[in-house]
Homo-oligomer: A and B are copies of this chain.
Amino acid sequence: MIGPIETVLGQILSMNLKELASKLGLSPTTVSRALNGYPEVNESTRERVVAAAKRYNYSPNTRAIRLATGRAMAVGHVIPIATRHEIVNPVFADFIAGAGETYSRNGYDMLLSVVSDDDEEGAYRDLKSRGAIDGIIVHGPNQNDPRIPLLRDIGLPFVVHGRSTGTTLPYSWLDVNNRRAFQRATEFLLDLGHTRIALINGLEFMDFAIRRRTGYVDALAARKLAADPALMFSDEMTEVAGYQAARAMLALPHPPTAFLVSSMISGMGVRRAIESLNLHMGREVSVIIHDDELSYLRNGAEVPIFTATRSSVREAGRLTAEMLLDLIANPGEGPKERLLEADLIIGQSTGPAPRKN
C-alpha cells in the first residue's frame, strides 16, 4: 500500500522516523542522517530515503526535534497591552508580516505573547526558562528601557526594533533614522517659507518620538528659530488626537502654517481638522506625515496624498528578524546595529507658506 495511512475518520496519520526506517530496512540513525544532509551516508541510500520520506508523507515531529536538539526553533514577539489605554500598535501587523516571512523561509516558528504591560518582565523570564524560544524581538523601546538589561541578564538573544536613548549597554538594534527624517522634513518646510511649524508627535517616552522631536528642534535651531511649546503636541497617535490637536492649534491667535505629524493615522485627523475649517491641505496649511507604508493605509494610489518621510515597517520586520536569526546562529559575535534612512517623498499636502496679509 502506498501513501499515508487513512484512519476511519479520514485523518492522515503521519508516520514517524522508526516506522519509516523499518519500512526501508535501515536504522533510524541512518534515516535521520540521510534526511538532514549528513555526509556519512551513501548517496544512493540517501536518495532512497528521501524518496520514501516524500512518498509516505513523513515530516519529523517538531516536538521531538526540539527536545533532542535543545533548540526551540522559534522566535518570540511580546505584545504588551497597555493596561491604561489598551492600544495595540497598528504597525505591529505589518512588522510581524515582514518578520514572519523571514521566519518561514528559515524554518522558524513565530510565537506571539500578549501580555499586560505590567507583567512584561515575567513573560520574558517565563519564555526563557520554559525554553519556548531561542530569541526575541523587542518592540517599541522607551527611553532607558529596562527590558534591555533584563534580556541580557537572562541570556536570551534579542534584537530591538528601535533604540533606547540612555541605555549604555551594547545591544543589537535596527532603527529608522527618525531624527534625520524629521530634520529633513522640517528643513523642507522651512525652505518652503514656513516658520510656524507644529509637531504632532507620538508619546514622548517612546524613543522614536524623542528622536523625531530632536530632529525637528535641531532643524529649527539651525535657522535660529526656537520651537514654540504651543506648537508641540504629544499623545497617542490616533485620528481623534490628531484632529483635536490640530483644531486647537489652528484656533491660536498665531496659528501654524504647517504640521509635522508622526503617523498616517494622526495625519488623517489633522487633515480633517484643516478641512473642517474650510482650509486646504497643501494651500493654506502644509502637512508632512511619517508613512510606515502600512499595507492597509497606503498613502494614495499612484500620487501620494501626503508629503511624507517614508520607511517600510514591513521591510524593517524582515530585516530585524534576519538579524535575530543571525544572532542566534552566531552567539559569539557582538551586537549588530542597523540604521535605515527614511525617504522624503513629495505629495500634494505641502506647498509654499501663504503670504502674510
Question: Which residues of A are at the interface with B, using a C-beta cutoff of 8 A?
Answer: 9-12, 14, 57, 59-64, 66-67, 70, 72, 74, 79, 81, 86-90, 92-94, 96-97, 99-101, 103-104, 109-115, 126, 129-132, 152-155, 237-240, 244, 265, 268, 271-272, 275-276, 278, 294-298, 300-301, 305
Contact = CB atoms under 8 A, between A and B. Distances in A.
B153 A12 contact: yes
Give the dominant DSSP class at A's interface. Answer: mixed
A131 B93 contact: no
Contacts of A305: 240
Contact of A11 (B9, B12, B154): B154
A14 B111 CA distance: 21
Contacts of A114: 96-97, 99-101, 103-104, 110
13 contacts: A10-B155, A12-B155, A14-B129, A59-B129, A61-B67, A64-B67, A74-B111, A103-B114, A110-B114, A112-B112, A239-B268, A268-B268, A275-B276
A67 B59 contact: no
A9 B72 CA distance: 21
Nearest to A154: B12
Closest A-B pairs by Cβ, 6 of them: A100-B114, A11-B155, A62-B130, A14-B129, A63-B66, A90-B296
Given A11-B155, A88-B94, 9 more contacts: A12-B154, A59-B126, A63-B72, A67-B67, A90-B93, A92-B93, A93-B93, A100-B113, A239-B268
Given A12-B154, A101-B114, A238 B296 contact: yes
A63 B94 CA distance: 29
Contacts of A296: 87-90, 237-238, 265
Contacts of A153: 10-12
Nearest to A156: B11
A62 to B, nearest CB: 4
Nearest to A10: B153
A131 B300 contact: no
Given A79-B100, A93-B92, A67 B63 contact: yes
Given A111-B110, A112-B110, A300-B240, A62 B132 contact: yes
Contact of A109 (B88, B93, B111): B111
A107 B268 CA distance: 40
Contacts of A96: 79, 112, 114
A190 to B, nearest CB: 28
A333 to B, nearest CB: 15
Given A93-B90, A114-B101, A297 B11 contact: no
A178 B88 CA distance: 24
B109 A298 contact: no
Contact of A88 (B70, B72, B97): B97
